Amino acid sequence: MQPALTGSRPQPTGSDTRRLRDCLGRFGSGVSTVTYAGDNGFRGITISSFTSVSLDPSLVLISVGRRARACAGLRNASFVVNVLAADQVPLALHFAGRPQSALAVPWLDQDGVPRLDGTVAWLLCRPWRTYEGGDHLLFLGEVQDFAYAPGDPLLFQDGDFRRPGPQIVLPPAPETA
């Protein structure tokens, strides 16, 4: 039996927050850029917190920091989750707040919602629910359309961009009687 959790927990200090971030960074994730139509044209934000939630209905979740301008733009807006290809690091950086001046963003229009060309996958979503998530907002989108292509996805782990490595060969399953 676990003891009941009571009382308030101490708030992490700056060094605890950094250590927690480093700990969480050990979990490698794919890199996606979420695109949407803003007041001043097509907009996007690079995220690493994207996950499938449900197949019926078809739901995905994105997590966006509250301080990001995209929070306001994504409220009640359709969006596309663009799963970036391993060669799209400049796009990832551009939409992560590090503009790449020579970059020509490969915009496409997907039923009135912007998406990026050359990705390994994309999912067009209409807004389903938004939840509070501490210093982030969690946007659930209902998938309306999607496509995927061959190629390596862009990954992020330990503060670095990566690409998938060699496939791990599993030993044969033991025979059952």
Between residues 15 and 158, which one has the greater pLDDT? Answer: 158
Q: What is the pLDDT of residues 133-163, one digit of tens each?
A: 999 999 999 999 999 999 999 999 888 889 9
Q: Which of these, 125, 120, 92, lies nearest to 110 by C-alpha position?
A: 125
Return the pLDDT at 135: 92
Q: What backbone phi and psi angles, to 5 degrees, belong to 17?
A: -65, -45
Burial class (CB in 10 A: 0-12, 13-18, 19+), 158: exposed
Q: How far is CA 117 from the centre of its chain?
A: 17
**HSE-CB of 128 using CA atoms within 13 angstroms:** 18
Query: Are 114 and 74 in contact, with CB atoms under 8 Å apart?
Result: no
Return the pLDDT at 27: 65
Q: What is the pLDDT of residues 42-79, one digit of tens each?
A: 999 999 889 999 999 999 999 999 999 999 999 999 99
Whole-prediction pTM:
0.84
Burial pattern 105-134, b for ≥16 Cβ within 10 A else e, equals beebebeebbbbeebbbbbbbebbebeeee
Residue 10 pLDDT grade (very low, low, confident, very high; cuts 50, 70, 90):
low
